[in-house]
């Protein structure tokens, strides 16, 4: 069986012993989290986020992937370091599981998580989103419709 980048990220998370929830593709939990994200975040063509409604956006662009990877990891590490909330990792392709973990649990596994790209990392409370794409760009920002959008019960 082929090992994916997501498998590598989960193995790194397992080694930390930090709690997390993993929802298989197509499961009610994964579908509910994906639907909540889609209702709260406006989308543009080709599964890009429409950032015009976001506040406090930060666009990161770099033609060299290793440089951009380091920038995105630094932004994500800084955000996780200063917030204590749940993160939801939503891979674009839909064939990988959805992952929910706390910001502190994410700190030691940021690099393995970013290898899963393209993906969205969402903090429903306070409404923060990271869009990490293969095309040499990443964007972060806040959406006012996200707080309270995460489903509470599964």
- Does residue 47 fall inside a structural domain? yes
Residue numbers of the domain that contains 60: 5-142
- Does residue 147 fall inside a structural domain? no
> DSSP secondary-structure letter at 6?
H
Q: For residue 153, what pLDDT is reported?
A: 54
Q: For residue 134, what pLDDT is reported?
A: 67
Q: For residue 37, what pLDDT is reported?
A: 92
- Does residue 99 fall inside a structural domain? yes
Q: Percent helix, strand, coil in the chain (nearest 5)?
A: 40, 25, 35
Q: For residue 50, what pLDDT is reported?
A: 93
Q: How many domains does the chain fold into? A: 1
Q: For residue 2, what pLDDT is reported?
A: 56
Q: For residue 110, what pLDDT is reported?
A: 82
- Does residue 154 fall inside a structural domain? no
Sheet holding 86-91, edge to edge: 20-23, 98-102, 86-91, 119-123, 128-132, 137-142, 55-61
Q: For residue 107, what pLDDT is reported?
A: 84
Low-confidence ranges of the chain (pLDDT < 70): 1-3, 117, 134, 152-154
Entry pTM = 0.88
- Does residue 114 fall inside a structural domain? yes
- Does residue 52 fall inside a structural domain? yes
- Does residue 153 fall inside a structural domain? no
Q: For residue 154, what pLDDT is reported?
A: 46
Asked if residues 33 and 98 have their Cβ atoms less than 8 Å apart, the reply is yes
Q: Pairing state of beta strands 119-123 and 128-132? A: antiparallel
- Does residue 41 fall inside a structural domain? yes
**What is the per-residue pLDDT across 25-64, written as a single tens digit (0 to 9) for each?**
999 999 999 999 988 899 888 778 999 989 999 998 877 7
């Amino acid at each position: 069986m082929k090992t994916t980048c997501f498998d590598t990220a989960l193995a790194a998370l397992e080694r930390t012993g930090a709690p997390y929830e993993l929802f298989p593709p197509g499961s009610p939990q994964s579908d509910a989290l994906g639907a909540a994200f889609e209702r709260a975040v406006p989308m543009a063509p080709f599964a890009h986020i429409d950032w015009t409604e976001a506040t406090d956006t930060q666009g990161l662009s770099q033609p060299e992937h290793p440089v951009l990877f380091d920038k995105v990891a630094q932004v994500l590490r800084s955000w996780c370091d200063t917030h204590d909330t749940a993160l939801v990792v939503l891979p674009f392709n839909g064939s990988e599981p959805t992952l929910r973990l706390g910001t502190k649990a994410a700190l030691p596994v940021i690099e393995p998580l970013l290898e899963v790209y393209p993906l969205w990392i969402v903090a429903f409370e306070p409404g923060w989103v990271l869009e990490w794409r293969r095309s040499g760009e990443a964007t972060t920002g806040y959406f006012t419709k996200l707080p309270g959008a995460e489903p509470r019960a599964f």
